[in-house]
Structure 1
């Protein structure tokens, strides 16, 4: 199901409707493919789509109304999900699944580097979110048969 419109709460606390045109070529926000789990900031919409045959993370500049290239972010052998972006658009955090193992990655758009925050954890992880400043990442972790919440700093270390 394509995203034809996205509802969000603005800073004023009221719903706002964002409308973007349909692009059958897949170069815009709305396409014939699935666009999943969008997260919206004042300038960006980050989402997952299968428009290129794999479930990848995409970034759309809502002001310029165009997709932004994310070199080094997506991998053919990973299934991406639940992206989140810092308010300034520099940092993107997202979950992946690869050969049955889940992981949380942080991508820095300035350096074009992707790195795992959770590769040393012996647990399932999911649903990451990054705060507006881009210095904290929160995600769910399954240890000892229950889901808990972890908070990491951008360096990949748990916070108190």
Structure 2
């Protein structure tokens, strides 16, 4: 897969990314399936089947190498839709474990993965994280339809004031 599209960095200007092809999967450009890439300018987080399961990978565009994510991926989890904070220290993702979906936050400083939706009895999907890593938005089917939930990094829902339109 050649990840050569208009990824938008934090400055808002599109740029073309074109990294060398690596048949062994040690670069961004590989023969494996790469899904839902997100970029903060320096880092590109994406899902790939490089190790025989649907895992999250992090690529450092400046150093042109994959970054290890210990404690993030496991054989019994199907990951999807990762998003990364501006400083690259926090990743949020959707994952399915034992048939149940959840939104997970991964802290790269301490290599810790936490489910922030474990008490929600609904399907959840498509998370995104704010630039500062403190606010997460995702979709939830809790009310029988797909609603957007906004919460802090611990999963506590935030009450946002929405002006009358």
Normalising by structure 2, what TM-score?
A: 0.92
How far apart are 1:11 and its partner, in Å?
4.8
- 3-state DSSP class of the match of 1:24? coil
Aligned to 2:122: 123
Aligned to 1:36: 35
Alpha carbons 2:77, 2:96 under 8 Å: kept: yes
- 3-state DSSP class of the match of 1:21? coil
Aligned to 2:149: 150
Q: Which has the higher strand share?
A: 1
Identify unmatched segments of 5+ residues in structure 1: none
Identify unmatched segments of 5+ residues in structure 2: 160-165
The question of 1:48 aligning with 2:85 is answered no
Aligned to 1:68: 67
Over the aligned positions, Cα root-mean-square deviation in angstroms equals 1.2
Structure 2 Cα separation of the partners of residues 95 and 35 of structure 1: 16
Provide Cα deviations, 1:118-148, integer angstroms capped at 9, x if missing partner.
0110000000000000000100000232000
Aligned length: 159
Normalising by structure 1, what TM-score?
A: 0.95
How far apart are 1:152 and its partner, in Å?
1.0
Aligned to 2:19: 20
